[in-house]
Protein backbone atom coordinates (compact mmCIF):
# COMPACT_ATOMS: atom_id res chain seq x y z
CA UNK A 1 0.00 0.00 0.00
CA UNK A 2 0.99 3.60 -0.53
CA UNK A 3 2.59 5.22 2.50
CA UNK A 4 0.18 7.92 3.80
CA UNK A 5 3.14 9.98 4.96
CA UNK A 6 4.41 10.13 1.39
CA UNK A 7 2.38 13.26 0.67
CA UNK A 8 2.91 14.95 4.04
CA UNK A 9 6.62 15.54 3.66
CA UNK A 10 7.92 18.97 2.78
CA UNK A 11 8.30 20.07 -0.87
CA UNK A 12 12.08 19.97 -0.46
CA UNK A 13 11.92 16.39 0.83
CA UNK A 14 9.63 15.41 -2.02
CA UNK A 15 11.97 17.00 -4.57
CA UNK A 16 14.93 15.16 -3.10
CA UNK A 17 12.99 11.87 -3.01
CA UNK A 18 11.94 12.31 -6.64
CA UNK A 19 15.48 13.14 -7.73
CA UNK A 20 17.03 10.20 -5.87
CA UNK A 21 14.39 7.74 -7.07
CA UNK A 22 14.68 8.66 -10.74
CA UNK A 23 18.46 8.70 -10.49
CA UNK A 24 18.42 5.22 -9.00
CA UNK A 25 16.08 3.90 -11.70
CA UNK A 26 18.19 5.51 -14.42
CA UNK A 27 21.52 4.19 -13.17
CA UNK A 28 20.13 0.69 -12.65
CA UNK A 29 18.30 0.23 -15.95
CA UNK A 30 19.52 2.63 -18.63
CA UNK A 31 23.20 1.60 -18.97
CA UNK A 32 22.20 -2.03 -19.44
CA UNK A 33 19.40 -1.22 -21.88
CA UNK A 34 21.75 1.05 -23.83
CA UNK A 35 24.31 -1.77 -24.06
CA UNK A 36 21.61 -4.13 -25.33
CA UNK A 37 20.42 -1.71 -28.00
CA UNK A 38 24.02 -0.90 -28.96
CA UNK A 39 24.56 -4.58 -29.73
CA UNK A 40 21.18 -4.85 -31.48
CA UNK A 41 21.89 -1.92 -33.77
CA UNK A 42 25.42 -3.15 -34.55
CA UNK A 43 24.11 -6.64 -35.37
CA UNK A 44 21.39 -5.32 -37.67
CA UNK A 45 23.55 -2.74 -39.48
CA UNK A 46 27.10 -4.18 -39.47
CA UNK A 47 26.15 -5.43 -42.91
CA UNK A 48 26.87 -1.87 -44.13
CA UNK A 49 30.56 -1.99 -43.23
CA UNK A 50 30.83 -5.71 -44.15
CA UNK A 51 29.54 -4.83 -47.61
CA UNK A 52 32.84 -3.09 -48.37
CA UNK A 53 34.22 -6.65 -48.84
CA UNK A 54 31.19 -8.94 -48.86
CA UNK A 55 29.37 -7.36 -51.78
CA UNK A 56 32.33 -7.95 -54.10
CA UNK A 57 33.28 -11.38 -52.67
CA UNK A 58 29.79 -12.82 -53.18
CA UNK A 59 29.12 -10.89 -56.42
CA UNK A 60 25.94 -9.26 -55.10
CA UNK A 61 24.35 -6.53 -57.23
CA UNK A 62 23.24 -3.27 -55.60
CA UNK A 63 19.65 -4.50 -55.82
CA UNK A 64 20.48 -7.79 -54.11
CA UNK A 65 22.41 -6.02 -51.37
CA UNK A 66 19.65 -3.44 -50.82
CA UNK A 67 16.98 -6.14 -50.70
CA UNK A 68 18.97 -8.19 -48.20
CA UNK A 69 19.57 -5.12 -46.03
CA UNK A 70 15.89 -4.23 -46.05
CA UNK A 71 14.32 -7.68 -45.76
CA UNK A 72 15.47 -7.80 -42.12
CA UNK A 73 12.71 -5.31 -41.38
CA UNK A 74 10.02 -7.47 -42.95
CA UNK A 75 10.92 -10.26 -40.55
CA UNK A 76 10.90 -7.73 -37.74
CA UNK A 77 7.51 -6.31 -38.74
CA UNK A 78 5.83 -9.74 -38.96
CA UNK A 79 6.39 -10.51 -35.28
CA UNK A 80 6.51 -7.03 -33.74
CA UNK A 81 2.98 -6.64 -32.35
CA UNK A 82 2.71 -10.27 -31.12
CA UNK A 83 6.15 -9.95 -29.50
CA UNK A 84 5.16 -6.86 -27.53
CA UNK A 85 1.94 -8.49 -26.32
CA UNK A 86 3.91 -11.57 -25.22
CA UNK A 87 6.31 -9.28 -23.33
CA UNK A 88 3.38 -7.85 -21.35
CA UNK A 89 2.16 -11.36 -20.54
CA UNK A 90 5.42 -13.08 -19.57
CA UNK A 91 7.35 -10.07 -18.28
CA UNK A 92 10.09 -7.91 -19.78
CA UNK A 93 12.98 -9.67 -18.06
CA UNK A 94 12.50 -13.10 -19.61
CA UNK A 95 11.28 -11.89 -23.00
CA UNK A 96 14.07 -9.35 -23.56
CA UNK A 97 16.60 -12.03 -22.58
CA UNK A 98 15.09 -14.40 -25.17
CA UNK A 99 15.22 -11.74 -27.86
CA UNK A 100 18.87 -10.84 -27.25
CA UNK A 101 20.13 -14.43 -27.13
CA UNK A 102 18.32 -15.45 -30.32
CA UNK A 103 19.36 -12.41 -32.35
CA UNK A 104 23.00 -12.85 -31.26
CA UNK A 105 23.02 -16.45 -32.51
CA UNK A 106 21.49 -15.53 -35.87
CA UNK A 107 23.78 -12.49 -36.27
CA UNK A 108 26.87 -14.68 -35.95
CA UNK A 109 25.36 -17.15 -38.45
CA UNK A 110 25.63 -14.43 -41.14
CA UNK A 111 29.25 -15.54 -41.57
CA UNK A 112 28.01 -18.68 -43.39
CA UNK A 113 26.07 -16.83 -46.11
CA UNK A 114 27.19 -17.61 -49.67
CA UNK A 115 24.21 -17.02 -52.01
CA UNK A 116 21.55 -14.31 -52.31
CA UNK A 117 18.83 -16.73 -51.12
CA UNK A 118 20.86 -17.63 -48.02
CA UNK A 119 21.49 -13.92 -47.49
CA UNK A 120 17.79 -13.06 -47.59
CA UNK A 121 16.83 -16.01 -45.38
CA UNK A 122 19.28 -15.23 -42.57
CA UNK A 123 18.35 -11.55 -42.64
CA UNK A 124 14.66 -12.44 -42.29
CA UNK A 125 15.50 -14.76 -39.39
CA UNK A 126 17.50 -11.96 -37.75
CA UNK A 127 14.48 -9.68 -38.00
CA UNK A 128 12.18 -12.34 -36.52
CA UNK A 129 14.63 -12.92 -33.65
CA UNK A 130 14.94 -9.23 -32.77
CA UNK A 131 11.27 -8.36 -33.37
CA UNK A 132 9.67 -6.45 -30.54
CA UNK A 133 12.89 -5.33 -28.86
CA UNK A 134 12.60 -1.57 -29.44
CA UNK A 135 8.83 -1.24 -28.88
CA UNK A 136 9.22 -3.55 -25.89
CA UNK A 137 11.80 -1.24 -24.34
CA UNK A 138 9.71 1.86 -25.10
CA UNK A 139 6.80 0.20 -23.30
CA UNK A 140 9.14 -0.93 -20.50
CA UNK A 141 10.38 2.64 -19.97
CA UNK A 142 6.76 3.79 -19.61
CA UNK A 143 6.52 1.47 -16.58
CA UNK A 144 9.42 3.21 -14.86
CA UNK A 145 9.48 6.87 -15.93
CA UNK A 146 6.67 9.45 -15.53
CA UNK A 147 5.64 11.17 -18.74
CA UNK A 148 7.58 14.40 -18.23
CA UNK A 149 10.81 12.52 -17.53
CA UNK A 150 10.28 9.92 -20.23
CA UNK A 151 11.67 11.95 -23.13
CA UNK A 152 15.17 12.18 -21.67
CA UNK A 153 15.06 8.52 -20.60
CA UNK A 154 14.01 7.52 -24.11
CA UNK A 155 16.75 9.66 -25.65
CA UNK A 156 19.35 8.10 -23.39
CA UNK A 157 18.20 4.66 -24.51
CA UNK A 158 17.99 5.63 -28.18
CA UNK A 159 21.47 7.15 -28.03
CA UNK A 160 22.68 3.59 -28.46
CA UNK A 161 21.82 3.73 -32.18
CA UNK A 162 24.23 6.56 -33.09
CA UNK A 163 26.73 5.20 -30.56
CA UNK A 164 26.55 1.92 -32.46
CA UNK A 165 27.44 3.92 -35.55
CA UNK A 166 30.55 5.16 -33.76
CA UNK A 167 31.59 1.85 -32.24
CA UNK A 168 30.34 -0.44 -35.00
CA UNK A 169 31.83 1.42 -37.95
CA UNK A 170 35.18 2.12 -36.27
CA UNK A 171 35.43 -1.45 -34.96
CA UNK A 172 34.12 -2.92 -38.20
CA UNK A 173 36.74 -1.19 -40.32
CA UNK A 174 39.42 -2.62 -38.04
CA UNK A 175 37.96 -6.16 -37.94
CA UNK A 176 37.86 -6.27 -41.75
CA UNK A 177 41.65 -6.20 -41.44
CA UNK A 178 41.50 -9.75 -40.01
CA UNK A 179 40.96 -10.85 -43.60
CA UNK A 180 42.52 -14.28 -44.29
CA UNK A 181 43.12 -15.35 -40.70
CA UNK A 182 42.20 -19.00 -40.13
CA UNK A 183 40.78 -19.07 -43.64
CA UNK A 184 38.02 -16.55 -42.93
CA UNK A 185 37.37 -13.32 -44.79
CA UNK A 186 37.24 -10.08 -42.84
CA UNK A 187 33.47 -9.76 -43.17
CA UNK A 188 33.06 -13.27 -41.72
CA UNK A 189 35.11 -12.29 -38.67
CA UNK A 190 32.92 -9.21 -38.35
CA UNK A 191 29.68 -11.16 -38.09
CA UNK A 192 31.19 -13.80 -35.79
CA UNK A 193 32.72 -11.37 -33.31
CA UNK A 194 29.86 -8.90 -33.14
CA UNK A 195 27.16 -11.50 -32.46
CA UNK A 196 28.74 -12.85 -29.26
CA UNK A 197 28.16 -9.83 -26.93
CA UNK A 198 24.40 -9.97 -27.61
CA UNK A 199 24.26 -13.56 -26.37
CA UNK A 200 26.18 -12.66 -23.20
CA UNK A 201 23.97 -9.65 -22.46
CA UNK A 202 20.84 -11.72 -23.10
CA UNK A 203 21.85 -14.13 -20.37
CA UNK A 204 22.73 -11.20 -18.08
CA UNK A 205 19.26 -9.66 -18.61
CA UNK A 206 17.75 -12.38 -16.43
CA UNK A 207 19.60 -10.89 -13.47
CA UNK A 208 19.81 -7.21 -14.41
CA UNK A 209 16.19 -6.43 -15.34
CA UNK A 210 13.09 -6.18 -13.12
CA UNK A 211 9.59 -6.48 -14.59
CA UNK A 212 8.20 -3.39 -12.81
CA UNK A 213 8.63 -1.01 -9.84
CA UNK A 214 6.45 -3.12 -7.54
CA UNK A 215 9.09 -5.91 -7.56
CA UNK A 216 12.18 -3.66 -7.54
CA UNK A 217 14.00 -4.73 -4.38
CA UNK A 218 16.87 -2.42 -5.32
CA UNK A 219 14.62 0.58 -4.51
CA UNK A 220 13.91 1.56 -0.91
CA UNK A 221 10.31 1.22 0.29
CA UNK A 222 9.92 4.99 0.20
CA UNK A 223 11.34 5.27 -3.31
CA UNK A 224 9.19 2.41 -4.59
CA UNK A 225 6.02 3.90 -3.09
CA UNK A 226 6.79 7.36 -4.47
CA UNK A 227 7.42 6.03 -7.97
CA UNK A 228 4.29 3.86 -8.05
CA UNK A 229 2.18 6.76 -6.74
CA UNK A 230 3.64 9.11 -9.35
CA UNK A 231 2.93 6.65 -12.16
CA UNK A 232 -0.63 6.09 -10.90
CA UNK A 233 -1.13 9.84 -10.75
CA UNK A 234 -0.02 10.13 -14.35
CA UNK A 235 -2.36 7.32 -15.40
CA UNK A 236 -5.25 9.14 -13.70
CA UNK A 237 -4.68 12.17 -15.95
CA UNK A 238 -6.23 10.25 -18.77
CA UNK A 239 -7.98 10.82 -22.03
CA UNK A 240 -10.58 8.49 -23.54
CA UNK A 241 -7.92 6.99 -25.79
CA UNK A 242 -6.17 5.63 -22.70
CA UNK A 243 -9.12 3.34 -22.01
CA UNK A 244 -8.90 1.38 -25.26
CA UNK A 245 -8.41 -2.36 -25.61
CA UNK A 246 -5.34 -3.53 -27.58
CA UNK A 247 -7.52 -4.29 -30.63
CA UNK A 248 -9.19 -0.87 -30.48
CA UNK A 249 -5.79 0.80 -30.11
CA UNK A 250 -4.67 -0.84 -33.37
CA UNK A 251 -7.59 0.86 -35.11
CA UNK A 252 -7.27 4.29 -33.45
CA UNK A 253 -6.92 7.08 -36.09
CA UNK A 254 -4.16 8.89 -34.20
CA UNK A 255 -2.19 5.67 -33.80
CA UNK A 256 -2.34 5.24 -37.57
CA UNK A 257 -1.26 8.84 -38.12
CA UNK A 258 1.74 8.22 -35.87
CA UNK A 259 2.34 4.99 -37.77
CA UNK A 260 2.37 6.79 -41.12
CA UNK A 261 4.72 9.47 -39.79
CA UNK A 262 7.17 6.88 -38.49
CA UNK A 263 7.06 4.94 -41.75
CA UNK A 264 7.94 8.06 -43.74
CA UNK A 265 10.82 8.99 -41.46
CA UNK A 266 12.27 5.49 -41.33
CA UNK A 267 12.79 5.38 -45.10
CA UNK A 268 15.65 7.93 -45.25
CA UNK A 269 17.05 6.96 -41.83
CA UNK A 270 17.49 3.26 -42.62
CA UNK A 271 18.58 3.97 -46.19
CA UNK A 272 21.39 6.03 -44.69
CA UNK A 273 22.28 3.32 -42.16
CA UNK A 274 22.95 0.65 -44.80
CA UNK A 275 24.36 2.77 -47.62
CA UNK A 276 26.42 5.45 -45.83
CA UNK A 277 29.77 3.56 -45.86
CA UNK A 278 29.44 2.86 -49.60
CA UNK A 279 28.38 6.46 -50.32
CA UNK A 280 31.31 7.87 -48.33
CA UNK A 281 33.87 5.53 -49.90
CA UNK A 282 32.65 6.27 -53.43
CA UNK A 283 32.52 10.03 -52.82
CA UNK A 284 35.94 10.61 -51.27
CA UNK A 285 37.71 7.31 -52.17
CA UNK A 286 38.74 6.28 -48.66
CA UNK A 287 40.09 2.98 -47.33
CA UNK A 288 37.84 0.66 -45.30
CA UNK A 289 39.31 1.88 -42.00
CA UNK A 290 39.01 5.57 -42.94
CA UNK A 291 35.49 5.04 -44.25
CA UNK A 292 34.51 3.47 -40.93
CA UNK A 293 36.01 6.39 -39.00
CA UNK A 294 34.21 9.00 -41.14
CA UNK A 295 30.83 7.32 -40.66
CA UNK A 296 31.62 6.92 -36.94
CA UNK A 297 32.35 10.66 -36.72
CA UNK A 298 28.96 11.47 -38.25
CA UNK A 299 27.33 9.21 -35.66
CA UNK A 300 29.12 11.20 -32.94
CA UNK A 301 27.53 14.45 -34.12
CA UNK A 302 24.16 12.68 -34.35
CA UNK A 303 24.52 11.54 -30.73
CA UNK A 304 25.02 15.08 -29.49
CA UNK A 305 22.13 16.39 -31.60
CA UNK A 306 19.81 13.65 -30.32
CA UNK A 307 20.55 14.47 -26.67
CA UNK A 308 20.17 18.22 -27.15
CA UNK A 309 16.92 17.95 -29.08
CA UNK A 310 15.33 15.59 -26.55
CA UNK A 311 16.43 17.75 -23.61
CA UNK A 312 14.89 20.88 -25.14
CA UNK A 313 11.82 18.86 -26.07
CA UNK A 314 11.28 17.80 -22.45
CA UNK A 315 11.97 21.31 -21.19
CA UNK A 316 9.56 23.09 -23.52
CA UNK A 317 6.93 20.37 -23.97
CA UNK A 318 7.06 21.03 -27.74
CA UNK A 319 7.58 17.36 -28.52
CA UNK A 320 5.91 17.38 -31.94
CA UNK A 321 7.76 20.50 -33.04
CA UNK A 322 11.14 19.08 -32.04
CA UNK A 323 10.42 15.80 -33.83
CA UNK A 324 9.35 17.76 -36.92
CA UNK A 325 12.53 19.86 -36.81
CA UNK A 326 14.65 16.71 -36.93
CA UNK A 327 12.67 15.38 -39.90
CA UNK A 328 13.05 18.71 -41.72
CA UNK A 329 16.82 18.72 -41.18
CA UNK A 330 16.99 15.22 -42.69
CA UNK A 331 15.02 16.47 -45.72
CA UNK A 332 17.52 19.33 -46.17
CA UNK A 333 20.36 16.80 -46.05
CA UNK A 334 18.72 14.71 -48.77
CA UNK A 335 18.39 17.78 -51.02
CA UNK A 336 22.06 18.62 -50.48
CA UNK A 337 23.09 15.03 -51.26
CA UNK A 338 21.18 15.25 -54.53
CA UNK A 339 22.55 18.60 -55.77
CA UNK A 340 25.91 19.41 -54.16
CA UNK A 341 28.70 18.56 -56.63
CA UNK A 342 31.76 18.71 -54.35
CA UNK A 343 32.53 15.34 -52.69
CA UNK A 344 33.14 16.83 -49.21
CA UNK A 345 29.96 18.91 -49.40
CA UNK A 346 28.02 15.85 -50.52
CA UNK A 347 29.30 13.81 -47.57
CA UNK A 348 28.40 16.69 -45.21
CA UNK A 349 24.87 16.74 -46.63
CA UNK A 350 24.56 12.99 -46.20
CA UNK A 351 25.66 13.49 -42.59
CA UNK A 352 22.69 15.84 -42.05
CA UNK A 353 20.35 12.95 -42.89
CA UNK A 354 21.70 10.97 -39.94
CA UNK A 355 21.81 13.96 -37.59
CA UNK A 356 18.28 15.09 -38.41
CA UNK A 357 16.71 11.64 -38.39
CA UNK A 358 18.30 10.72 -35.06
CA UNK A 359 17.11 14.01 -33.54
CA UNK A 360 13.55 13.16 -34.59
CA UNK A 361 13.44 9.78 -32.85
CA UNK A 362 13.32 10.43 -29.05
CA UNK A 363 10.63 13.17 -29.07
CA UNK A 364 8.50 11.18 -31.49
CA UNK A 365 8.71 7.98 -29.44
CA UNK A 366 7.14 9.79 -26.46
CA UNK A 367 3.87 10.33 -28.34
CA UNK A 368 2.35 6.82 -28.43
CA UNK A 369 2.92 6.16 -24.68
CA UNK A 370 1.24 9.52 -23.95
CA UNK A 371 -1.75 8.54 -26.07
CA UNK A 372 -2.25 5.01 -24.69
CA UNK A 373 -1.54 2.94 -21.63
CA UNK A 374 -1.48 -0.68 -20.46
CA UNK A 375 -1.77 -3.44 -23.05
CA UNK A 376 -3.23 -0.89 -25.47
CA UNK A 377 0.05 1.02 -25.21
CA UNK A 378 2.04 -2.16 -25.89
CA UNK A 379 -0.03 -2.84 -29.02
CA UNK A 380 0.00 0.77 -30.24
CA UNK A 381 3.72 1.26 -29.69
CA UNK A 382 4.43 -1.99 -31.53
CA UNK A 383 2.26 -0.92 -34.48
CA UNK A 384 4.03 2.45 -34.72
CA UNK A 385 7.39 0.71 -34.66
CA UNK A 386 6.21 -1.87 -37.20
CA UNK A 387 5.82 1.03 -39.61
CA UNK A 388 9.45 1.88 -38.95
CA UNK A 389 10.33 -1.71 -39.86
CA UNK A 390 8.36 -1.56 -43.12
CA UNK A 391 10.05 1.73 -43.98
CA UNK A 392 13.34 0.07 -43.11
CA UNK A 393 12.66 -2.46 -45.86
CA UNK A 394 11.68 0.21 -48.38
CA UNK A 395 14.64 2.58 -47.84
CA UNK A 396 17.68 0.34 -48.55
CA UNK A 397 15.82 -1.63 -51.25
CA UNK A 398 14.78 1.56 -53.00
CA UNK A 399 18.35 2.91 -53.08
CA UNK A 400 19.68 -0.37 -54.49
CA UNK A 401 16.99 -0.59 -57.17
CA UNK A 402 17.39 3.08 -58.16
CA UNK A 403 21.18 2.78 -58.34
CA UNK A 404 21.05 -0.32 -60.57
CA UNK A 405 18.30 1.18 -62.77
CA UNK A 406 19.67 4.70 -63.30
CA UNK A 407 23.34 4.37 -62.44
CA UNK A 408 23.11 7.20 -59.87
CA UNK A 409 21.41 8.26 -56.64
CA UNK A 410 20.57 11.98 -57.06
CA UNK A 411 16.95 11.30 -58.01
CA UNK A 412 16.62 8.85 -55.14
CA UNK A 413 17.78 11.51 -52.66
CA UNK A 414 15.19 13.95 -53.98
CA UNK A 415 12.45 11.40 -53.37
CA UNK A 416 13.82 10.76 -49.87
CA UNK A 417 13.77 14.53 -49.26
CA UNK A 418 10.06 14.66 -50.12
CA UNK A 419 9.38 11.70 -47.83
CA UNK A 420 11.22 13.30 -44.87
CA UNK A 421 9.49 16.65 -45.47
CA UNK A 422 6.12 14.88 -45.39
CA UNK A 423 7.02 13.35 -42.04
CA UNK A 424 7.93 16.82 -40.72
CA UNK A 425 4.56 18.17 -41.86
CA UNK A 426 2.68 15.36 -40.09
CA UNK A 427 4.63 16.00 -36.87
CA UNK A 428 3.35 19.59 -36.90
CA UNK A 429 -0.20 18.47 -37.69
CA UNK A 430 -0.59 15.93 -34.87
CA UNK A 431 0.33 18.43 -32.13
CA UNK A 432 -3.31 19.59 -32.02
CA UNK A 433 -4.69 16.25 -30.81
CA UNK A 434 -6.50 16.73 -27.45
CA UNK A 435 -4.97 13.60 -25.88
CA UNK A 436 -1.55 15.25 -26.03
CA UNK A 437 -2.77 18.50 -24.49
CA UNK A 438 -3.45 16.58 -21.25
CA UNK A 439 0.30 16.32 -20.82
CA UNK A 440 1.09 19.79 -22.16
CA UNK A 441 2.64 18.25 -25.28
CA UNK A 442 2.75 20.52 -28.31
Domain boundaries, the chain: 10-437
Closest CA to 269 of 294, 244, 306: 306
Dihedral of alpha carbons 409, 298, 59, 282, sign: positive
For residues 382-402, give the mean pLDDT: 84
For residues 412-432, give the mean pLDDT: 90
Whether residue 171 contacts residue 402, with contact meaning beta carbons closer than 8 Å, is answered with: no
pLDDT at 236: 59
For residues 369-381, give the mean pLDDT: 73
In which band, very low, low, confident or very high, does the pLDDT at 76 lie, cut at 50, 70 and 90? confident
Neighbour tally for 38: CB within 10 Å = 22
Whether residue 359 contacts residue 306, with contact meaning beta carbons closer than 8 Å, is answered with: yes
Listed in sequence order, the residues at least 6 apart from 204 whose beta carbon sits closer than 8 Å to its beta carbon are 32
Buried b / exposed e along 426-439 (16+ C-beta atoms within 10 A): bbeebbebebbebb
The per-residue DSSP string of 152-171 comes to HHHHHHHTHHHHHHHHHHHH
- Residue 434 — φ and ψ, nearest 5°? -65, -30
Q: What digits encode the pLDDT tens for the residues 91-141?
A: 889 999 999 999 999 999 999 999 999 999 999 999 999 988 988 888 898
Residue 191: CA count within 13 A, CB half-sphere: 25
* 3 state DSSP class of 415: helix
CATH of the domain spanning 10-437, picked from 1.20.1250.20, 3.40.50.300, 1.20.120.530, 2.40.128.720: 1.20.1250.20
Dihedral of alpha carbons 331, 332, 335, 337, sign: negative
Percent of the chain with pLDDT over 90: 29
pLDDT at 272: 87
Q: What digits encode the pLDDT tens for the residues 210-267?
A: 988 888 889 889 988 888 888 877 665 544 445 567 777 777 788 888 889 999 999 9
- Residue 360 — φ and ψ, nearest 5°? -65, -35
Residue 367 has pLDDT above 90, yes or no: no
Amino acid sequence: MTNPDLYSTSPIDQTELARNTLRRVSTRLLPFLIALYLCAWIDRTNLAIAALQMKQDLHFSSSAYGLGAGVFFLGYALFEVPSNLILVRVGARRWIARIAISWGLVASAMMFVRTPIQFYLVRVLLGLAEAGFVPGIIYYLSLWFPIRERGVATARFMIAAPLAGIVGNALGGWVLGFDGRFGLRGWQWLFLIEGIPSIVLGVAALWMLTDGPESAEWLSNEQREWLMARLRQGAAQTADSHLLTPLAALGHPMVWLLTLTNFLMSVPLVAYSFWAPLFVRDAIHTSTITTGLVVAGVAGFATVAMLLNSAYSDRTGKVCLHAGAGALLAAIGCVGAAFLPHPIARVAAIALIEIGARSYVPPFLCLAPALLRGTAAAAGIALVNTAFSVGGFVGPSFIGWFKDTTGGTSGAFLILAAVAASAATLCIAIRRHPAFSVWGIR
